[in-house]
Chains A and B, each alone.
Chain A
Amino acid sequence: MGAEKKIFEYTKKLHMYSGLLTFSAFLVWGVTGVEAMFLPAAGEYRPPPVTGTQEIAYQAPGDLDDDKLCRAIYAAVKIPLAAGRYNVHRDEHSHLAFNVFTINGGREVTFLEERGVVRVDHRRNSTLSYLSSMHTAHSGRHQLTVMASLWGYFNEFSTWAFLFMTFSGLYLWIATRPGLRWAQLALAATVVVTAALWFAIR
């Protein structure tokens, strides 16, 4: 077997194996991309309804400002898959309140100081919204549990595999059927349309 033929065969195998190994990530990306088309416009997002409320006993140390108190509560309530807090504020009853992001839907945390209780309202997201969050996972994001971390590494690996398949697919076409007129036209059309839109937006 000549060197050229060997390169072709190995590339074909790798292209196929990469696709099979990363199929589940592909599916998640595809579903997320299709769903994105139907997401609400900027500024029109409405959070899902409250699906569960939990109350946790908490006594605050007396010498903390709002930011430090928020950190202390965030550490104490141990929300599963918590990935950051934001919107720290006082509500209309002067209770300290803040939001927590999780892959499985946001939490609204309110400290009811007079009762010594932290109330956690869960707004569970839809499965599609969950998949959308998971499609953004990588080695530096959503590293929260063993499974979520493994998915993050797998997702990152799949992105590299996707890049490889983009180029190897092009190579496999050029190596086998470069003269195919409709294929040439398909490639030319995608390049022209995408480049035209890029320059229009840029």
Chain B
Amino acid sequence: MRNIHLGLGLGFFLMALIFAVSSLTAIYRQRLGQTKPEITEKAVQLPTAALATPRAAAMELMTAHGLRGDLREIKEKSGTVTFRIVRPGEVAEVAYPAATGEAKITIRRQTALNTLMALHTNHGVWHEYMPANLWAVLAFCTSAGLILLGASGIYLWFKHYDERRIGSALLTSSVVFGLVALYLTRLEQ
């Protein structure tokens, strides 16, 4: 069990650190001050073949102009097509007239800390952008690992006979407080 606890702890060390730091960044966001994203604008002429659909235009921007992420929020209004290419920490807003294909791209790149927060909430394996799926799988394993880490830690503590009194008081306090706080808050409907 000692080895399992150690293995889980080391196996998810960096992810655990990222979750802890991103959580603290979220908690103290206001005290840390608002950090604005770095904004870059550029103009791109889309080739005729890329004007067939917004997806084709997005693919062209990804393969030929280095944009990466999930294609989202495709809209068409008054002859202008708009969409976003999103990945954790970066959003590219694209707008182009369907007739001419002169695309204007605005890229908002977040700071490293804000990217950590975006990764904290990155979930699911439905992304078109593969690294986001892989990250979500890693986060899922880390979450499951966290539960196992807690369970194996409790087992290891229980084997420390001289720590049972203090440990029992701490664990009971945690569980009772947690259940009462969560239950009473849930009743506030």
Instruction: Please list the residues of chain A having a beta carbon within 8 angstroms of any beta carbon in chain B.
Output: 13, 16-17, 19-34, 36-43, 52, 80-81, 103-104, 122, 124, 127, 130-131, 134, 136, 138-141, 144-145, 147-148, 150-151, 154, 156, 159-160, 162-163, 166, 169-170, 173, 177, 180, 182-183, 186-187, 189-191, 193-195, 197, 200-202
Contacts and interface: CB of A to CB of B under 8 A. Distances in A.
A88 B138 CA distance: 38
B34 to A, nearest CB: 15
B181 A150 contact: yes
Contact of A104 (B136, B175, B189): B189
Nearest to A164: B20
Interface string B14-26: 1111111101101
Given A16-B157, A190-B10, A197-B135, 14 more contacts: A19-B153, A23-B171, A36-B124, A37-B123, A37-B137, A37-B143, A103-B185, A151-B178, A151-B181, A151-B182, A154-B178, A154-B181, A159-B23, A202-B115
B173 A21 contact: yes
Interface stretch (B38-46, B51-59, B162-170): B162-170
B125 A37 contact: yes
Given A104-B186, A182-B7, A190-B15, A22 B174 contact: yes
B170 A31 contact: no
Contacts of B140: 33-34, 36-37
B27 A17 contact: no
Interface in B68-106: 70, 72-73, 86-89
A189 B9 CA distance: 13
Contact of B150 (A23, A32, A80, A134): A23
B147 interface: yes
A21 B182 CA distance: 16
Category for how many chain B residues contact A: 35 or more
Nearest to B145: A30
Contacts of A52: 189
A60 to B, nearest CB: 26
A197 B134 contact: yes
**Which 9 pairs across A and B sit closest by C-beta, in order of nearness?**
A33-B143, A24-B178, A30-B147, A41-B126, A36-B123, A20-B170, A163-B20, A194-B14, A30-B146
A150 B178 CA distance: 10
Contacts of B16: 162, 166
Contacts of B6: 173, 177, 180, 183
Contact of B143 (A29, A43, A147, A173): A29
Contacts of A136: 26
Contacts of A190: 10-15
Contact of B70 (A27, A39, A42, A131): A42
B12 A147 contact: no
Nearest to A18: B170
A163 to B, nearest CB: 4
B11 A134 contact: no
Nearest to B168: A20
A15 B102 CA distance: 59
B185 A162 contact: no
